[in-house]
Chains A and B, each alone.
With several copies, the nearest count.
Chain A
Amino acid sequence: ASAALGAAALPAARATGAEPALEVPAWTRTPGEPVLWHAYGQPDAHEAHVVRRTRGTAVLPGAASSLTPLQNLHGIITPTGLVFERHHAGIPQIDPAQHRLVVHGLVQRPLILSMDDLVRFPAVSRIHFLECSGNTGVEWRGAASTSIQQSHGLLSCCEWTGVRLSTILQEVGVDPAAAWVLAEGADGAAMSRSIPIAKAWEDALLVYAQNGEMLRPEHGYPLRLFLPGWEGNASIKWLRRLKLGAAPFMTREETSKYTDSLPDGKARQFTFTMEAKSVITYPAVDHRLRGRGYYEISGLAWTGQGRVKRVDVSTDGGASWREARLEGPVLDRALTRFRADWQWDGGPAVLQSRVTDETGYVQPTGRQLIAQRGLNSLYHYNAIQSWKVATDGSIANAQV
């Protein structure tokens, strides 16, 4: 069915009743704050609501997460101060001069590298998304979140700069028997994951800078692993050690924790890839429409498999679809902003987006996911999201 979204140009009647005569405001009648008011800048006081938030309260707030306020963001870059957090034993405060990276195990020349050493190697910069495998997990058992920050906020996108892990593997000389790499953090959890060596050679990065500046404490200062397109927990923060081995190390994080339970009681292990996903960030459950007329639907699409190929949007709950505009550049394993025109006629509507990635993978419905995986998987819920618009302009999270 061909959709009529925005096809009919039906502008809202321009507000009549002229604006009251403009006055010269106080801030024009006086000089403002001096240069270097903040040597390191801060958001305006009117944006104080744009902050990370948690989901409920954690008994031990070091083993918890905070979420990115996607409802307030624009474009694809997440400002670093709003990039989501997930810690297992809080945020260590590391002295970068004392920090070391040990690379050992099945290698010819085990090495200890300081930060001064690491920044000397050739560097690369890449814009990539980072998503927690638990993102949107609260939606497995029905529409649960009343904010897109709660449902989809374990998601961010930054420019990462660091050294290719392959550069370091060449530096140490890899034993042919090596098949897995243990990555370990210097935090109180000594957080650890086993990574297949193919990923280490292919595109893994040892990152020290994020959006131009050194990493922040909560994102792994002074060094983290970064695995493009893979679940966030595997991109070990505060990275202190890489050990090459012949088999996976079977840490708690890849046995007890980040595995996906199936209805038959088995659990999928090493489910690293973040499959293609999209969500409309405006208008979303956080917003309210002010009357009928033109709205630009805007959202984010991404895939751990490469590039977004197309995004379709629906305003009738999936009965009809229409291709959205993709904002360029469409980058490999980065957020892609999509936009579509919409004339709201004032009636009920259900807004959805559906991404197709360059491998041909199409974002599934929740029903499709549940049919395959049941309700106990916790992770990797990448279903089409529905926002239900009521005639009064209010918007609800819905599963249709």
Chain B
Amino acid sequence: QVYGLGKPGSPAAIAAWNIDVAPDGTGLPPGSGSVAAGQAVYAAQCAACHGAKGEGKPADALVGGLGTLATGKPVKTIGSFWPYATTVFDFIRRAMPYQAPQSLSADEVYAATAYLLHLNGIVPADAVLDATSLPQVRMPNRDGFVADARPDTASRPCLQCR
């Protein structure tokens, strides 16, 4: 049954809210940003919460942790843990900087993403990211995720007690 409520959601009408970016790059906007430009964005907008070099404090560390995931103290950052570079762009665009979400231009988000990927040793110092290059970045932990395997505990109530 169709109730006939609501109004048509034309692409133009919803454009400002349609901000998600998929791993294949769908949703990435025009524009681009370099590591160098990102360094400036990061210093101005991000360093206060994530540390001068992304080391964290007060908010999450964004750099480091490679090789720690299988240890007793995994350090999970963009570099060590995130499977898709597109997610970095998506998250910064929707949620950062924390005190002014959705305030950065597309160029600034590309740039901040490039800088953070560079700090993590994933893209070179001269990298420039855009809608074509960003989805092609292969993240170290790309294959680090597995499906839910639960139930994984097989308890049976004590038969004596029943």
Chain A residues with CB under 8 Å of chain B are 1-3, 9, 11-24, 28-31, 59-60, 62-63, 88-89, 102-104, 109-114, 117, 120-121, 167, 170-171, 182, 184, 188-190, 192, 240-241, 243, 245, 247, 249-252, 255-256, 259, 261-273, 275, 293-294, 312, 320-322, 354, 356, 361-365, 368-369, 372-373, 375-376, 380
Q: Assuming A256-B82, A265-B70, is B157 touching A365 (CB within 8 A)? A: no
B70 to chain A, nearest CB (A): 3
- B149 lies within 8 A of chain A by Cβ: yes
A249 to B3, CA, bound (A): 29
A256 to B13, CA, bound (A): 31
Interface positions of B from 123 to 156, Cβ below 8 Å from A: 144-153, 155-156
Most buried by A among B7, B81, B86, B99: B7
A368 to B151, CA, bound (A): 12
> Of B5, B76, B78, B100, which one neighbours A113 at CB under 8 angstroms?
B5
Binary interface encoding of chain B residues 68-99 relative to chain A, with 1 for a CB under 8 A from any of its CBs, else 0: 01101010101001111011001100110011
Asked if A261 and B4 sit within 8 Å, CB to CB, the answer is: no
A361 to B154, CA, bound (A): 8
**Which residues of chain A come closer than 8 Å to B90, judged between CB atoms?**
249, 251-252
**Which residues of chain B come closer than 8 Å to A167, judged between CB atoms?**
3
Asked if A264 and B4 sit within 8 Å, CB to CB, the answer is: no
**Which residues of chain B come closer than 8 Å to A102, judged between CB atoms?**
9, 14, 17-18
**Which residues of chain B come closer than 8 Å to A121, judged between CB atoms?**
3, 5
> Main SS of the interface on chain B?
loop
Asked if B98 and A89 sit within 8 Å, CB to CB, the answer is: yes
> Of A3, A21, A270, A375, which one neighbours B15 at CB under 8 angstroms?
A21
Asked if A112 and B148 sit within 8 Å, CB to CB, the answer is: no
Asked if B148 and A20 sit within 8 Å, CB to CB, the answer is: no
A289 to B152, CA, bound (A): 37
A30 to B81, CA, bound (A): 28
A171 to B17, CA, bound (A): 21
A97 to chain B, nearest CB (A): 15
21 sampled A-B residue pairs with Cβ under 8 A: A21-B15, A59-B59, A60-B49, A89-B101, A109-B8, A111-B7, A112-B7, A112-B8, A120-B3, A189-B95, A241-B18, A249-B90, A251-B91, A261-B76, A265-B70, A266-B146, A269-B146, A275-B150, A293-B5, A362-B156, A368-B153
Binding stretch for chain A, among B19-27, B28-36, B106-114:
B19-27
Closest to A296 in B: B3
**Which residues of chain A come closer than 8 Å to B17, judged between CB atoms?**
22, 24, 102, 184, 240-241
Other CB < 8 Å A-B pairs besides A268-B147, A369-B153, A380-B150, 14 of them?
A14-B4, A18-B7, A60-B49, A110-B14, A112-B7, A120-B5, A171-B3, A188-B95, A192-B94, A250-B84, A256-B87, A265-B69, A294-B5, A368-B153
Asked if B91 and A293 sit within 8 Å, CB to CB, the answer is: no
A343 to chain B, nearest CB (A): 10
**Which residues of chain A come closer than 8 Å to B69, judged between CB atoms?**
261, 265-267
**Which residues of chain A come closer than 8 Å to B149, judged between CB atoms?**
268
Closest to B67 in A: A265
- B103 lies within 8 A of chain A by Cβ: yes
> Of B15, B22, B82, B102, which one neighbours A29 at CB under 8 angstroms?
B102
**Which residues of chain B come closer than 8 Å to A21, judged between CB atoms?**
12-16
**Which residues of chain B come closer than 8 Å to A189, judged between CB atoms?**
94-95, 101
A369 to B151, CA, bound (A): 10
A89 to B8, CA, bound (A): 30
Q: Assuming A15-B7, A268-B145, is B157 touching A184 (CB within 8 A)? A: no
**Which residues of chain B come closer than 8 Å to A368, judged between CB atoms?**
153, 155
Asked if B98 and A19 sit within 8 Å, CB to CB, the answer is: no
Asked if A272 and B16 sit within 8 Å, CB to CB, the answer is: no
A15 to B102, CA, bound (A): 30
**Which residues of chain B come closer than 8 Å to A62, judged between CB atoms?**
98
B21 to chain A, nearest CB (A): 8
